[in-house]
Amino acid sequence: MEHIRTPKVEQVRLLDRFSNKSTNGTLYLTATHLIFVESSSNNSTSAGQEIWILHHHIASVEKLSLTTSGCPLVIQCRNFRVVHFVVQRERDCHDIYSSLLRLLRPVSYEELYAFSYNPKQNDQQREEGWQLIDLGAEFERMGVPCDQWQLTDVNRDYKVCETYPRDLYVPITASKPIIVGSSKFRSKGRFPVLTYFYQEKKAAVCRCSQPLSGFSARCLEDESMLQAISKANHNSRYVYVMDTRPKLNALANRAAGKGYENEDNYSNIRFQFVGIENIHVMRTSLQKLLEVIGTRSLSMSDYLVGLESSGWLRHIKAVVDAAIFLTKAVTVEGASVLVHCSDGWDRTAQVCSLGSLLMDPYYRTIKGFMVLIEKDWISFGHKFADRCDQLDGDPKEVSPIFTQFLECVWQLTEQFPQAFEFSEWFLLQIHEHIHSCQYGNFLGNNQRQREELQLRERTHSLWAFLMSERQNYLNPFYSPAYSEAHPVLVPSTLPYNFKFWRNMYHQFDRSMHPRQSILKTILTLRENSRKAESTLQALESRLQQLGVTPITTSDPPAAPPTRDQRSNSSAYPPRPDSLILGAPINPKEVQRQQEEDNEQEEVGEEATESTDTERTVEGSSGTESRKQSYGELEGTYNSELAKEEPAVVSLEFGVARMTC
């Protein structure tokens, strides 16, 4: 609280960035949130609007030049919310600006919101939330350990690689000297380890970092490590090595003593560059995208050119292409794959997790997706603290790597809506809390840091919160039968399949044209139907208690006759008047009706004589009002209706007409 100079400022205007509308209200500054409360005079019929912005969501604050209406303050958030305030007094604006600059840049982890957030849970509930995800059980689900893969304790004390987890799975033929030697030849000590095991083909997906090969260096232990991975799969004689970087970048790293595997030194490997750009290119691309979508009054051509020049969707496509290559190598060829980039915690995490998602239906469920993130991102040391700018650090380390992964998943949900148990709101909620620092799951850069911060004892787990609200994230189109029939997804990467994710980047822009979520509508209808059925059952139970027999519904109506049945039937059903009300019936129809009337008179039944060509459909109102409404059509269609035509149904002036 010592950083807050002015906790409350009145007469603040909130401007909409896509319209000329504004809202008056009061701005509050607390230790954790910036809150804007709309004045009651703006909306007298309902409660005033409230906007709560976590300090950790704020990416930048800009104080613009003083104007005649006040001092503008523009706040851009990491969840892509943009708010534009106008404060009447320049001094108040400066106080808010200075306070936010300090509050949005914490210098230690203890200042983050997760350490003060209290959802009113006891220690046991907190621990249960953290125990929700068990990676040991996840590897057992894959079938590991097995006769070819084992759990090693070589990194039990983080002595071999401090950015890897304690529990690692390696080939059973890889001894500790081989593991330690391989780690010394890999950047940051990140040697090849198992991340996913495809049981059907006994193929493995492994991950690591780039080798310290330079132009000619080699390591026998590292070569033995890749040989052990190859021997662990009897269904293939070779191992794919996927370098997710562009080849030019890998060549540049060679000059710095790093680089990539030399196929002459490694037996039975097939090397493949993929071409995903580095963190700096991705950061610049997102900045260009946000500039385009935040500009008012762009023409369609300028908008599309700007979207293309940002390169954002092109980068999304590159990640999906890499995941498809990985999936085909494992599921079609039955080959094991080793994936790496520079340090093995950015592009490697994207490709391994997305490839696993394509291969395994379990990861396309809500619980499975949590396990996937915990395994390939949190456990294997994606640098969330640096990439998401949690502390006041190097801005060059910030990059939207995890945001790209979530968008790749969303693109897949658009192509395969029946294959995913969760909707896009689940992805958006995860993205929200990646940057909120409200839960402890994503704090820090690796597991060792999280243990040192004692996050399990001092913070709460996001996964428990998401599971408690599971019903809000269900996808109504999800079909478990579809996942069983299509366990492996093969997406198309043609350009027209990649869309702009409006609900990610314009989630908070309420002034844009109204849009209705189909998923939310269907979920609402399902919930209303469920409540109605529950109420009906309760009422029926109450009636039975009172000794009243509930009224049963009648049998369902019979299906309408087919065309053959209608053609073979001798008795035609009575035909109503022409559907164009007030118009005469076709002469052929009149003749047929007269013949039927004569037959009825012969058997002695009472016949209804019809002297007028106009009749009323049973159950409808009288014809006088209809004649007034459609009288003008009568003269127009008399001549056409008198002609003998084949049976057709057409629409005239929005009214169906049938002639025969």
Residues designated as active site: 341
Name residues whose C-beta falls within 8 Å of residue 103's C-beta, 6 or more positions apart in sequence. Answer: 3, 4, 31, 55
DSSP-H helix ranges across 423-562: 424-436, 447-452, 455-458, 462-468, 480-485, 502-505, 518-545
CB 166 within 8 A of CB 156: yes
> Residue 418 in 3-state DSSP?
coil
Length of the chain: 660
Residue 240: φ, ψ to 5°? -80, 135
Q: For residues 452 and 450, what is the distance between their CA atoms, to the nearest angstrom?
A: 5
Q: For residues 89 and 391, what is the distance between their CA atoms, to the nearest angstrom?
A: 31
Distances (CA, A) of 120 to 125, 459, 460, 461, 466: 10, 12, 11, 13, 16
Q: For residues 283 and 397, what is the distance between their CA atoms, to the nearest angstrom?
A: 9
Please name the amino acid found at residue 39: S
Distances (CA, A) of 184 to 27, 187, 188, 571, 575: 55, 8, 8, 92, 89
Q: For residues 551 and 539, what is the distance between their CA atoms, to the nearest angstrom?
A: 12
Nearest to 9 by CA among 103, 92, 102: 92
Q: For residues 615 and 610, what is the distance between their CA atoms, to the nearest angstrom?
A: 8
> Residue 205 in 3-state DSSP?
strand
Please name the amino acid found at residue 542: R
Q: For residues 135 and 450, what is the distance between their CA atoms, to the nearest angstrom?
A: 16
Q: For residues 478 and 437, what is the distance between their CA atoms, to the nearest angstrom?
A: 31
What is the rounded (10 degree) CA torsion for 52, 54, 60, 61? 50
Tokens of 141: 């689900």
Please name the amino acid found at residue 281: V
**Residue 145 preceded by cis peptide, ω within 30:** yes
User: Exposed/middle/buried for 120, CB within 10 Å: 0-12, 13-18, 19+?
Assistant: exposed
Q: For residues 461 and 471, what is the distance between their CA atoms, to the nearest angstrom?
A: 18
> Residue 238 in 3-state DSSP?
coil
Helix crossing, 401-415 with 347-359: angle to 10°? Answer: 20
Q: For residues 523 and 209, what is the distance between their CA atoms, to the nearest angstrom?
A: 44
Q: For residues 549 and 63, what is the distance between their CA atoms, to the nearest angstrom?
A: 72
DSSP-H helix ranges across 232-388: 247-255, 279-293, 300-310, 312-331, 347-359, 366-373, 384-387
> Residue 187 in 3-state DSSP?
helix
